[in-house]
Amino acid sequence: MTTLPGVRRRRSRLVWRNTVVGWTFILPNFAGFAALTLVPVVVLFYVAFTNWNVFGVADWTGLANFRRMIHDASFRTALQNTVYYTVLHIPLTLAASLGLALLLNRKLRGLGFFRTAAFFPYITSIVALTYVWNLLFSPEYGPINGFLRAIGIAHPPGWTTSADWSMPAVIIVGTWREMGYYMLLYLAGLQTIPAELYEAARVDGANAWQRFRSVTLPGLRPTTFLVAVLLTIGSFKVFDVILLLTNGGPGQSTLVLSQFIYQKGFVENQFGYASAVSIVLFAICFLVTAIQFLVNKRRNA
Amino acid sequence: MKRSIPTVIGLAAAASLLAAGCGGGSSSDSDSASGPVTLTLAGWSLSTTPEFKTLADGFHATHPDVTVEVKEYDAANYDTQITADLAAGSAPDIYAQKTLKNLYTYATGGQLMDVSDVAKKLSNSVGGLDAYQVDGKTYAIPYRQDSWVLFYNKELFDKAKVAYPDGSWTWDDYVTAAKQLTDGLKAAGSKAVGTYQHVWQSTVQGFALAQTPGAKLTSGDFSYLKPYYERSLDLQNAGAQPSLGTATTNKLTYQAQFGKQQAAMLPMGTWYIATLLAQRESGDADKFDWGIAPAPQFDKSTTGTSNTPVTFGDPTGFGINTAIKKSKISAAKEFLAYAAGPEGAKALAGIGITPADTAAVTDTFFALDGMPTDELSKFAFAKHDTKPENPVSKYTAGLQNILNDAHTAILSGSKSIDSALGEAQNRAKNEVLNQ
C-alpha cells in the first residue's frame, strides 16, 4: 500500500480534529467530574494512609488505619449490618420490581395512574418519606402495629425502636422506595421481548408459568443484570434512609459502613481512618460487581 | 486517536488539580492599621438565635469604629461547615464554639488563637472559662452558660394535687413525684404525664457525669450511669414519661411537650426560657403558670437552698480564627471581653439568654414579661455548680458517640443496662482510648 505523504497528513489532521471536537463536547462534564469527584478520590487514597484531622499536616502512618480496622468491633458490626441489608434488600427489590412490572405491563384501566403511583416513592423527598414511615412504625400508636394487633398479634414488633426489628424495618422502606425505579427498567426490558416468541410458546402449548420461565426471564436477562449491579452498589452504599429512619440505632443495630465513615470523618474528625474505611467499601463494591460481570459473561458465552 | 486519550485525561486532570489548588488560599491581606475595623462573626439560625446580632449591635454602640458583621451558618451542621471554611481559609474572624466537642480539634489543629490574656482580665463570676482550656491555655471565651434545671407546670401540679418542687429533691423524689403526677392527672381526666425527658443522651448522662462523685468520662468506666438509667427505665415503664421509641418515631419536641402542657415537668437547659417566652407570645405554647427548680440531685448533701446544686451544661463561647488579619486582633479580643463581661451579659439577659455571668443579671432577667416570680426560680437560675457535659479532651467526641449508642440500646429495651454499659466500656477501651 502506497499512500502519498499529503493524504496521510490530511488524514491525521482529520483524526486530530475529530478528537478535539469529541473532547470539547466531553470537557464541561469532565472538568466538573475531575474537580468534584476524581481529584477527591485520588486524594482519598493518600489520606487513607495518614492520620489527618482536616487541619494541618497529615502524618504518614502507613497501614496503621487498616490494622486498626481489623481490631475495630464497630467496623465489623457496620460491615455485618451492611451485608445483612444487602443480602435481603437485593432479592426483595428484584422480585418486587419485576412483579410490579409484570402487573403493569398489560392493558389495564388507569394504567398510567398505577405506574405513576409505583414510581412516586422514588421521586418523593426522602426526608418526608422517612418522617411518615417513622409515624407508621411507631410501636404504640402507629397504624402498622394497630393493624397487627387487630389481626390478633398480641405483641407486634417494635420496628425502628427495637434492635431486632430495626433492620427489617429499614429494608422494607428501602425496598418500597426503590422498587418503582427498577420497575421502570423492567418495563422497558419487557417491551423488547418480541411478541412472536410468546405466540410461538402458546402454539407449543406452554402455560403462563412456562412462558414466564422460558420466554420472559431469558428475555429480561440484560435488564436483570443491570438492575442487579445497580442494586448491589446502591445497597452497599445505603446511607440516607438509615440516617433519617434510625440514625444507626437502637444501639448499633442499623449502623452501616457509610454511616460509620460519616461518623468517624465528620463527627470525630478522623479523616484518615474514615478514608481507609471508604477504600474498603470501594473494594467490596468493586469486587462484587466484578464477580457479577464475570458470571454474566460466562452465561452469555 | 487511541494514544491521545490518556494524554488528554492527564492534561484535564492536571488542569483541574491546578484550579482546585488555586481556589484555597487567595486571601489578600490589605493591612489597614487605623480607621474603622470590620470584624466577621460566625453564628447560626439568626432569626431564632438573636444573640449574635444583639452582641454585634451592642459592641458597635460602645465601640463606634468597630463593625461586627454576622455570617449565618446552618445550626445542625454548624461544626461541619465551619470546619470546611477553616480548612479553606474562608472562615470568619471570630467563630462561636457551639459545643465543647470540637474545641480540642480546633485548638490542637491551630485554628484557635490563644486568648489567655482576655481570660485573665475577666471577673471570676464568668462561668465556664475553665472548660476552654487545653494544656493550660484558654482558646475561647464563654459568653453564655446555660445550665440544666427542672421546668415545671404549676397548673398541672395543682390539678394533680402534688406539692411543687422545693429545692430539696433528689432523683428519687423526682421519680416519685412524676409517678404521682401521672396518676393524679389521669384521675383529673387529663392526658398529660408526669415528666418529659427528651431523647438526647444528655438528659440522663449529663446529670450522671456531673453529679456522681468520682465520675470521669475519660476513665472509660461508665458504671456511674447505672442508677440514672434505672430511674429512666422505671419512669418509662410506669408510663410517667413517653418511651424513647414513642418520642423518636413520633418526633416529639420538648417545646411542644412542655409548652402545650403534655408533661408537668421537663429537665432542660436554661436556653429554653427564651424559647418558652417567645412561644407564649406566638401561641406555639399555652400561657400557664410555670417555674424552675434546681435539677434533682445525686443525694441530700447538695439539696436545699443553703447548698449549691450541682448540674451540667456546656458554655457557648467565642474563639478567634488564627487566620485573622493582625490589625484586627485587638478589636477581636475586645469583642470577646465585651461579650463575656457585664455589658454583654445585660444585653443578652434583655433577650432572655443566660449569659456567662448570671449573677450580674438575675434581676434584669426576671423582669421579663412571662417569667415566674417565685424565689426558688430565681435561686435555680442564679445559683448552681455547672460542670461541662463534654470535658475537653481528644477522646470526647468518640466516647460520646459510643455512649449515645448505649443510650438508645438501653432506653429502647434492646439491651439490659449492664450489657449495654459493659459493651460501651469495651468499645471505649478498644476503639477510642487506645488511639
- Give the pLDDT confidence of A87-118 residue by residue, as tens digits: 999 999 999 999 999 988 887 788 888 888 88
Q: Is the pLDDT confidence value at A170 over 90?
A: yes
Return the number of CB contacts < 8 Å for A and B.
Answer: 132
**Which three-class secondary structure state does DSSP give residue B43?**
strand
Most confident of the following: A77-91, A133-147, A260-274, B2-16? A77-91
CATH number of the domain residue A244 falls in: 1.10.3720.10
**Nearest chain B Cα to A12, which residue?**
B1
Parallel, antiparallel or unpaired: strands B94-97 and B315-320: antiparallel
Q: Calculate the dihedral angle through the C-alpha atoms of B91, B96, B101, B107, rounding to the nearest 10 degrees.
A: 60
Same domain, A86 and A193: yes
Same domain, A40 and A73: no
Contact A267 B397 (CB under 8 A): yes
B5 belongs to a structural domain: no
Same domain, A28 and A133: no
Contact A163 B409 (CB under 8 A): yes
From the list B237, B207, B242, B240, the residue with the least C-alpha distance to B225 is B207
For residue B26, the model assigns a pLDDT of 36
Q: What single string gives the DSSP state of each residue in B267-311?
A: EEETHHHHHHHHHHHHTSS----EEEEEPPBSSGGG-STTS--EE
Using a CB-CB cut-off of 8 Å, the residues of chain B touching A16 are 4
Instruction: Tally the domains of chain B.
Output: 2
Taking CA atoms, B6 is separated from B10, B94, B162, B427, in Å, by 6, 46, 80, 47
Once rounded to an integer, what is the mean pLDDT over residues A132-141? 87
Contact A158 B109 (CB under 8 A): no
Residue B285, C-beta contacts closer than 8 angstroms, at least 6 positions apart:
B255, B258, B259, B260, B276, B279
B58 belongs to a structural domain: yes
Same domain, B238 and B307: yes
Same domain, A203 and A90: yes
Name the one residue in this structure whose C-alpha cell is 419512669.
B235
Angle between helices B342-349 and B329-340 (to 10 degrees): 60
Contact B80 A15 (CB under 8 A): no
B18 belongs to a structural domain: no
A60 belongs to a structural domain: no
Contact B431 A160 (CB under 8 A): no
Q: Residue A31: which of B16, B110, B431 has the nearest Cβ?
A: B16
Same domain, B188 and B203: yes
For residue B185, the model assigns a pLDDT of 93
Same domain, B409 and B269: yes
pLDDT band at A3 (very low <50, low <70, confident <90, very high): low
Once rounded to an integer, what is the mean pLDDT over residues A181-190? 92
Question: What distance lies between CA A116 and its chain's CA centroid?
Answer: 21
- What ranges make up the beta strands (E) of chain A? none
A56 belongs to a structural domain: no
Same domain, B219 and B340: no
Same domain, B212 and B228: yes
Same domain, A111 and A244: yes
From the list B334, B317, B311, the residue with the least C-alpha distance to B385 is B311
pLDDT band at A6 (very low <50, low <70, confident <90, very high): low
Residue B393, C-beta contacts closer than 8 angstroms, at least 6 positions apart:
B104, B217, B218
Same domain, B198 and B278: yes
Once rounded to an integer, what is the mean pLDDT over residues A14-22? 90
Parallel, antiparallel or unpaired: strands B290-294 and B193-195: unpaired
pLDDT band at A5 (very low <50, low <70, confident <90, very high): low
Same domain, A95 and A226: yes
Q: Residue B409: which of A18, A53, A250 has the nearest Cβ?
A: A250
For residue B352, the model assigns a pLDDT of 78
A138 belongs to a structural domain: yes
For residue B355, the model assigns a pLDDT of 86
Cell numbers at residue B99, please? Answer: 459545643
Rounded to a whole number, what is the distance in angstroms from the first to the last CA of chain B? Answer: 52
For residue B183, the model assigns a pLDDT of 93
Using a CB-CB cut-off of 8 Å, the residues of chain B touching A35 are 16, 19-20
CATH number of the domain residue B158 falls in: 3.40.190.10
Same domain, A102 and A41: no
Residue A274, C-beta contacts closer than 8 angstroms, at least 6 positions apart:
A261, A262, A264, A265, A266
Give the residue from A24, A27, A54 with the most B CB atoms within 10 Å of its CB, the best one to mutate. A54
Taking CA atoms, B131 is separated from B95, B142, B220, B392, in Å, by 17, 9, 20, 7
Instruction: Tally the domains of chain A.
Output: 2
Q: Is the pLDDT confidence value at A264 over 60?
A: yes
Q: Which stretches within A34-72 are classed as H helix?
A: 39-47, 64-70
Give the residue from A161, A167, A270 with the most B CB atoms within 10 Å of its CB, the best one to mutate. A161
B235 belongs to a structural domain: yes
**Nearest chain A Cα to B434, which residue?**
A68
Contact A55 B430 (CB under 8 A): no
Same domain, B324 and B425: no
Using a CB-CB cut-off of 8 Å, the residues of chain A touching B250 are 134-135, 138, 141
Contact A134 B249 (CB under 8 A): yes
**Which three-class secondary structure state does DSSP give residue B351?**
coil
Same domain, B320 and B330: yes
Give the residue from B3, B81, B249 with the most A CB atoms within 10 Å of its CB, the best one to mutate. B249
For residue B350, the model assigns a pLDDT of 82
Which portions of chain B are predicted below pLDDT 70? 1-35
Contact by Cβ (8 Å): B212, B166:
no
| Mean pLDDT for chain A overall | 88
Same domain, B204 and B218: yes
B10 belongs to a structural domain: no
Contact B13 A39 (CB under 8 A): yes
A17 belongs to a structural domain: yes
B233 touches chain A (CB under 8 A): no
Contact by Cβ (8 Å): B56, B70:
yes
Using a CB-CB cut-off of 8 Å, the residues of chain B touching A160 are 245, 248-249
B174 belongs to a structural domain: yes
CA distance B244 to chain A (A): 8
Contact B243 A140 (CB under 8 A): yes
Taking CA atoms, A291 is separated from A87, A162, A284, A288, B54, in Å, by 15, 35, 11, 5, 61
Q: Assign 3-state DSSP to chain B and report helix, strand, coil percentages, each to 5.
A: 50, 15, 35
Contact A267 B8 (CB under 8 A): no
Using a CB-CB cut-off of 8 Å, the residues of chain A touching B86 are 54-55
Same domain, B186 and B156: yes
**Nearest chain A Cα to B106, which residue?**
A55
Same domain, B214 and B266: yes
Same domain, A230 and A278: yes
From the list B16, B17, B72, the residue with the least C-alpha distance to B49 is B72
Same domain, A120 and A215: yes
From the list B284, B285, B193, the residue with the least C-alpha distance to B246 is B193
* DSSP state, residue B122: S
A59 belongs to a structural domain: no
Give the residue from B17, B321, B412 with the most A CB atoms within 10 Å of its CB, the best one to mutate. B412
A52 belongs to a structural domain: no
For residue B7, the model assigns a pLDDT of 44
Structural domain for B197, as ranges: 148-311+395-432
Residue B75, C-beta contacts closer than 8 angstroms, at least 6 positions apart:
B44, B45, B49, B98
* Cis before B50 (ω within 30): no
Contact B83 A54 (CB under 8 A): yes
From the list B336, B385, B427, B273, the residue with the least C-alpha distance to B139 is B336
Contact by Cβ (8 Å): B419, B221:
no
Same domain, A40 and A84: no
- Range scoring the smallest mean pLDDT among A103-112, A203-212, A248-257, B192-201: A103-112
Q: Residue A71: which of B251, B397, B430 has the nearest Cβ?
A: B430
Parallel, antiparallel or unpaired: strands B193-195 and B263-269: parallel
Contact B405 A252 (CB under 8 A): yes
Complex confidence, ipTM: 0.79
Same domain, A155 and A12: no
Residue type present at position B24: G
B336 belongs to a structural domain: yes
Q: Which stretches within B63-201 are classed as H helix?
A: 78-88, 103-108, 116-121, 154-160, 171-187
Residue B88, C-beta contacts closer than 8 angstroms, at least 6 positions apart:
B23, B24
Same domain, A111 and A141: yes
Using a CB-CB cut-off of 8 Å, the residues of chain B touching A250 are 408-409, 411-412, 414
A245 belongs to a structural domain: yes
For residue A93, the model assigns a pLDDT of 95
Cβ burial of B54 (10 Å; 0-12, 13-18, 19+) is middle
Same domain, B303 and B335: no
Structural domain for A286, as ranges: 65-300
A184 belongs to a structural domain: yes
Cell numbers at residue A136, please? Answer: 407508621
Cell numbers at residue B235, please? Answer: 419512669
Which pTM does this prediction carry? 0.82
Q: Is the dihedral of CA B390, A248, B201, B424 positive or negative?
A: negative
B409 touches chain A (CB under 8 A): yes
Restricting to B residues 71-100, those with a Cβ less than 8 Å away from any Cβ of A are: 80, 83, 86-87
B27 belongs to a structural domain: no
Restricting to B residues 235-254, those with a Cβ less than 8 Å away from any Cβ of A are: 243-246, 248-251
What are the b/e assignments for B156-179, b being 16+ CB within 10 Å? bbebbebeebebebbbebbbebbb
